[in-house]
Amino acid sequence: MINRATIKSKKIKWGIAGGGRFTEETFIPALTLLRKVKLVSLHSRDIKRAKSLAEKFGVQSFSSDYDEFLKSDMDIVYISSENSRHYEQVIKAAKAGKHILCEKPLSVNSPEAEEMVMVCKENNVYLAVNYVHRFHPLVVKAKELIKDQKLGKLVSISVNFNIDSPPSSNFRFNKKLSGGGVLRDIGTHMIDLLRFLGDEISEIEGVIDNLVYQSEVDDFALGTVKFAKSGYGIFNVSFNSKKAFNRVEIICHKGSMSIENLIGKKLIAPKLTILLEGEAKKAFRKRGNKQLYLLKSIHKSLLRNETPLVTGEDGWINMKLMEELERKCLSKKN
């Protein structure tokens, strides 16, 4: 664990394993906005890519060898490689005593995810998963209103994340590397958001299909879930929609809420609208970098020696729910 007595006098040192576009365009720029942070090492199997990123962001150490990379003096590793590599890389990082932020989904199956969680606990290191949507202030506010029943008993939550992403050479379209298609890639985000806003999920049903693009992985998934305490949830995700209303809608007994412009790349500030019986409509806008909010939370957890607000257990639970939906859909086809 990071020594809390000395952390105030030094920077938290990060390493990054994976040199994809998200790492370059979103993660590292967000990381550089934090105070008392130093990116000390980069790993990519493509040494030219590792060198290019190191030069761009002023990182002294880079390597194509993961074991050598783990020898770097760093406190925490962000793992953003192909989904099929998460398992091995998390296990090795944990045994090397590094805290871990792993990209979603946690792995390609739930037994691997469970072992990743257990090994991190055994080695006394944090394991968090990069579920960014739950950290936006408007989502946090909506959760508080639901929890306090300010709008009455929860009835339903619907979340939509639809983009156009034709099949390509990207690993997401290789089932061996990704584990699956749109359900695994962005459906996992929506399942996590439903669990965060609503409650643990006791039942899940739905459909998984290829509606527009022919590929070995799905381009559409729709799920209905039952929350353990109250209400239902719906998620709709796709790789086949060029224009879509990606929003969050929350229906309660006494009122409703919606969050616009939260999901996807939007230039307009996200907006939370609240309708409550007997009151005027309220609206709140809040710009914010979801990745930055998550990183700030991770740093706070490290500094205070507290459990992260999004954990490996969350990734494991979300994986089990996706697998359950996949099994049910497969049995229907057979």
pLDDT given for residue 330 in this prediction? 83
Give backbone dihedrals phi and psi of 234, rounded to 5 degrees, phi first.
-135, 135
Helix or strand holding residue 178 (H, E): helix 175-178
Domain ranges of the chain: 7-131, 137-287
CATH entry 3.90.1720.10 includes domain 7-131? no
| Residue pLDDT, tens place only, 307-316 | 999 999 999 9
CATH code assigned to 137-287: 3.30.360.10
Q: Report the alpha-carbon distance of residue 66 to residue 72 in Å, rounded.
A: 10
What does pLDDT average to over the chain? 94
For 64, what's the count of Cα atoms within 13 Å in the CB-facing half-sphere?
7
Residue 2 has pLDDT above 70, yes or no: no
Query: The whole model's pTM is what?
Result: 0.95
- Residue-wise over 148-163: b if at least 16 C-beta within 10 A, else e? eeebeebebbbbbbbb
Residue 234 forms beta bridges with which residues? Answer: 158, 224
Helix or strand holding residue 223 (H, E): strand 220-227
| Residue pLDDT, tens place only, 254-276 | 999 999 999 877 778 999 999 99
Query: What value does the mean pLDDT take over residues 151-173?
Result: 95
Is residue 166 reached through a cis peptide bond, with omega within 30 degrees of 0 on the bond before it? Answer: no
Residue 71 has pLDDT above 90, yes or no: yes
CB-CB contact of 196 with 138 (8 Å):
no
Residue 320 has pLDDT above 80, yes or no: yes
Q: Provide the percentage of residues in the chain whose pLDDT is more than 90.
A: 91
**Residue 266 tokens, joined:** 């939007």
pLDDT given for residue 4 in this prediction? 39
Helix or strand holding residue 22 (H, E): helix 21-22
